[in-house]
Amino acid sequence: MNKGRKISGGKYHSFRKTKLFERPGQDRATTLGETKRKPLRVRGGNIKPILLRAEYANVVVKGKAQKAEIVNVEETPQNRFFARQNVLLKGAIIATSLGKAKITNRPSQEGCVNAVLLEEKK
């Protein structure tokens, strides 16, 4: 499989360059640690708060949100190595001061960690 080649061996020539908004963004992995945010200018001149490290999560317990300290990342459905590196992603199971919780948002996109309590700490 020769990338950018036809079946005959000839080259494919792009008809234009990649535009700025089409380029992939930088991969930002939110990790466990002292909270650190960074503002990012996005399309339209808006500012998106990027979360680089998080210490606390907003955990929903019986319909009410509580601030809980994140202790550890238990498991991550996307990649088991992310759990070992304490990377916070949507769908990851985290151990908090209230108990086990599942992250329901995308922390690197929204600037905070929201989660739903799965089982309470005994």
Amino acid (1-letter code) at residue 74? E
- Is 11 domain-assigned? no
- Is 9 domain-assigned? no
User: What is the domain extent for residue 44?
Assistant: 28-120
Amino acid (1-letter code) at residue 100? K
- Count helices and strands (H / E) in the chain: 2, 9
Domain count, the chain: 1
Q: How confident is the model at residue 43 (pLDDT cuts 50, 70, 90)?
A: confident
Do 97 and 72 contact (CB within 8 A), yes or no? no
CATH number at residue 71: 3.10.290.70
- Is 36 domain-assigned? yes
- Is 17 domain-assigned? no
User: In the numeric block, which tokens belong to residue 34?
Assistant: 């002292």
- Is 19 domain-assigned? no
* pLDDT surpasses 70 at 104: yes
* pLDDT surpasses 80 at 67: yes
Predicted confidence at residue 1, as pLDDT, reads 56
Q: How confident is the model at residue 25 (pLDDT cuts 50, 70, 90)?
A: confident
- Is 15 domain-assigned? no
Q: For the whole prediction, is pTM greater than 0.85?
A: no
Write down the mean pLDDT value for the chain: 91
Cβ-based neighbour number of residue 54 at 10 Å: 24
User: In the numeric block, which tokens belong to residue 36?
Assistant: 């650190």
* pLDDT surpasses 80 at 88: yes
